[in-house]
Amino acid sequence: MQTTNLEQQIEELFEAKTLPADAIKVVEEVIEALDSGKIRTAEKIGNEWKANSWVKKAILLYFRLRPVEKMEEGPFCDKVPLKVLPPPHNRIVPYSSVRKGSYIAPKVVIMAPSFVNIGAYVDEGSMIDSLVLVGSCAQVGKNVHIGAGTVIGGVLEPPNSTPVIIEDGAFVGGSCGIYEGCIVEKNAVIGAGTIITARTPIIDISSGEEHFGRVPENAVVVPGGRQKKVGDHELILQTPLIIKRRDPQVSAKLAMEDSLRVFE
């Protein structure tokens, strides 16, 4: 999709003190492109993910320009309508909510009640289990499993910030929290209950190396902790641990089950 002119228009609108009456038409063109997967809020360029700040600015403009309206889906009011996904390409269980301006690829399953926010991208073959939040602008790759009760945090502001990225083949267990633009690389496994933020140290127990904001490819991560002395107090700080590297030929679920029992 050719976006140069559209990008320039959005940048000008975002800086304008007064928005023209037809500004919503330009913004809605971006939202439609997001909705169909023609553009994304973040893209991988080489080995690095980069936020498309102008697309995120269009989402912010959308919130400014859209009125609060009654929704068709019940006694609810919002600025962003829900997305309509035609069958049979996906399975969206009732009582899940997927906002317009998010992209849901074919063969995605979303269990109820889950929520996918505007700007998010969920690629082909992924499973979003019950009670999952996929936040605004989060990017979920192909054949990813997001376990029940997990939060994939959204990063909409500031516009140049990279959102949370879950790359192809990753497995995120139940009741996890991935926040603040963290990247979970390909085929990584995140054990149930693991919380990761941009400043959470992730320690590789075999090498002692610490990772921040990024889970390496094929890493198997479980919740952990380490002692820290603060004044007269001995505290245990949450510190996820990389306990092994996954064999890509072994399913993520088996890798997780084996890793909980073997630490060598």
Across residues 190-211, what is the average pLDDT?
96
User: Long-range contacts of range 4-12, CB-CB < 8 Å, 24 or more positions apart?
Assistant: 6/30, 7/54, 10/54, 10/55, 10/57, 10/58, 10/61, 11/54, 11/57
Please tell me what DSSP assigns to residue 68: P
Q: Which CATH number applies to 4-67+79-259?
A: 2.160.10.10
Q: What is the pLDDT of residues 122-168, one digit of tens each?
A: 999 999 999 999 999 999 999 999 999 999 998 999 999 999 999 99
- What one-letter code names the amino acid at 53? S
Measure CA 255 to chain center.
23
Distance, CA of 189 to CA of 193 (rounded, Å): 12
Q: What is the pLDDT of residues 207-251, one digit of tens each?
A: 999 999 999 999 999 999 988 888 888 888 889 999 999 887 766
pLDDT at 253: 60
Please give the residue that has the higher pLDDT: either 85 or 222: 222
Across residues 88-116, what is the average pLDDT?
94
Angle between helices 4-15 and 53-65 (to 10 degrees): 50
DSSP line for 101-158: T-EE-TT-EEPSS-EE-TT-EE-TT-EE-TT-EE-TT-EE-TT-EE-TT-EE----SS
CB-CB contact of 163 with 145 (8 Å): no
Please tell me what DSSP assigns to residue 50: E
For the chain, the structural domain boundaries read 4-67+79-259
Q: What is the pLDDT of residues 23-74, one digit of tens each?
A: 999 999 999 999 999 999 999 999 999 999 999 999 999 999 999 999 877 7
